[in-house]
Each structure stands twice: as C-alpha cells, then as structure tokens.
Amino acid sequence: MDFLTSFSDVIIDNITLLVPVIAIFTRLSVFIYLLPGLGETVIPQRIRLGAAFLITWILVPILVPTIALPELTLPTGTLLIAKEGFHGFALGFAFRMMIFVLHMLGNIVSQALSISQVLGEGIATEPNTTISTLLMMSGVTLLVTMDLHVEAIGVFYRSYDIFPLGSAPNMDNIAYWMTQKAMGAIGFAVTLALPFIILNFVYNLMLGFLNRAMPQLMVSFVGMPAITGAGLFLLVIASGSILVFWAQAYHGSLDGFYGLSSSEAVQ
C-alpha cells in the first residue's frame, strides 16, 4: 500500500505531463475501436489496446511539443480526457459508417434474393446475413491490402489541426455533419443495391403476370429458385465493381470534416 501511495503522489505531482499523454491515448483508442480493420470485434481487445498504445508512443513526441495547455488540475484534466474521447468518436464515426454501408447493402440484397433468413456470425456483434458478412469481410480486407488503415492514422494526426488538444467540440457542426454522413450512407447503400432492387421488381412483376395467367401454378415454388439463382449470378458479376466504388467513396468519407472547428479551448 505504501508503494501505491507513493506512486499516486508521483502521478499527482506530474499530472501536467501525464494528462496530455492520456488524452492522446484516449482519442486514439476510441478512434481505433471504430476504425475498419483494427476495430473489428474479431480482433482481441488486448491487440487493439496494444496497437493504440504503440501508436500513441509514436505520436506523443510529435504532438506534445506543439501543445500549449494551461496548468491542469484533476477536474480539468478529467474534462479534457472526456473531450478527447468524443473527438475520437467523431473521427472514427465516418470510417465506421462505410462498414455500415456494406452491412445495409448486404441486408437489402438478401431481402431482394429471398435469402435474408440465412444468418450467421459475422465480423459485427450481431448476427448478419451471409451476404452482409461476405461484403463486410471483403471490404475490410480490401482496405487493409490498400493500406487505407495506415492512411487513417495520418488523418488522425491531422485531426489535431481541426480539434486541438484541450478544445471543446462545436456540437452544432458535428451533429449536423454526422447526420449528413448517416443519411449519405443509407443513400449510398441503396444506390449500390439498385441492380438487385430492379431485379427483384422485374421478378415480382413477372410473377404477378404468371399468377394471373395460370392461377393453378405455384408461382412461388417456381420463382424462388429463379430469383435466388439469378441474384447470386448478378452478385458474382457485380461484387467487384461494387467494392471498387465503395473503396473510392471511402476516400471521401471525411468530406466536410475539415470544415468543422472547435468552439473553444480549455481555460
């Protein structure tokens, strides 16, 4: 206990040096937990925390000399760390929304192909359709092979120009930006799924004509294998183009982010 007491005294005496490091680690760890690739639930938490710690170890010598903070106390330091956690969430939100695009796309395609009931454990916390899991794993693999997760760390470093350490977030601008990103993600997912939506529309239209022409025919038993087979064939053909368009949109996932500014600095 004496050791712990002396250790706490050292921390309190050097709180001005420790709080900026903890604040950087907080922003980075929240950001990594949302980042596609490193932030997936299939990766153990210890590895994610270890990656956040190592990256913090690299960034601290670069960022700390540029930080000018007033004398910190325990309450103001706690508030500073809480703000940094929110900044990390705002930054990682845009990247995570691109994974949600693939999630929504897979659900729409599964509904259109009448195979949405086929569920299984994917890379997210909740069960997903097989197509959602396939698209999300393909998208994350594509990002890692293109080194876009490394580019995301560079974006994190530049975020200190937008949200300086110790600054308070401009909630109006951030809320509006997040709303626009969420709306854009839904629209983008529907756009990517448009070929399958059109296929499903044509299928139901033809099924309606057949049902009117031959009421005695069990059109659902005839049409179900047809829509599933045609849809899977279309998925094989279109999946490459879908992922290419999605990867291009990933580069623009932070559109508007650099226009955000903090409302005030820590006093």
Tell me which range, 8-17, 153-162, 165-174, 235-244, is most confidently predicted by mean pLDDT.
235-244
Q: Which residue has the higher pLDDT, 76 or 102?
A: 102
- The DSSP bridge partners found for residue 264 are 168
Q: Which residue has the higher pLDDT, 187 or 39?
A: 187
Cβ neighbours of residue 136 under 8 Å, at least 6 residues apart? 99, 102, 103, 106, 122, 123, 124, 128
Q: Which residue has the higher pLDDT, 139 or 38?
A: 139
What pLDDT does residue 220 have?
66
- The number of distinct structural domains making up the chain is 1
Cβ neighbours of residue 107 under 8 Å, at least 6 residues apart? 116, 128, 129, 132
What pLDDT does residue 264 have?
44
What pLDDT does residue 261 have?
59
Question: Could you tell me the pTM of the whole model?
Answer: 0.78
- The DSSP bridge partners found for residue 168 are 264
What pLDDT does residue 267 have?
38
In one letter, which amino acid is 131? I
DSSP string of the chain? -HHHHHHHHHHHHTHHHHHHHHHHHHHHHHHHHHSTTTT-TTS-HHHHHHHHHHHHHHHHHHHGGG-------HHHHHHHHHHHHHHHHHHHHHHHHHHHHHHHHHHHHHHHTT-TT-EE--SSSS-EEHHHHHHHHHHHHHHHHTTHHHHHHHHHHHHHHHS-TTEEP-HHHHHHHHHHHHHHHHHHHHHHTHHHHHHHHHHHHHHHHHHHH-TTS-HHHHHHHHHHHHHHHHHHHHHHHHHHHHHHHHHTTTTTGGG---SEE--
Q: Which residue has the higher pLDDT, 8 or 136?
A: 136
> Please, which pLDDT band fits residue 119 given cuts at 50, 70 and 90?
low
**Range name among 17-31, 46-60, 105-119 with the lowest pLDDT average:** 105-119
Q: Which domain holds residue 138?
A: 2-265
The span from the CA of 165 to the CA of 154, in Å, is 16
> Please, which pLDDT band fits residue 42 given cuts at 50, 70 and 90?
confident
Q: Hey, what are 220's tokens?
A: 């659902």
What pLDDT does residue 3 have?
53
Q: Over the stretch 51-96, which tens digit does the pLDDT of each residue have? A: 888 888 888 888 777 666 666 666 777 788 888 888 888 888 888 8
What pLDDT does residue 255 have?
64
Average pLDDT over the chain reads: 78
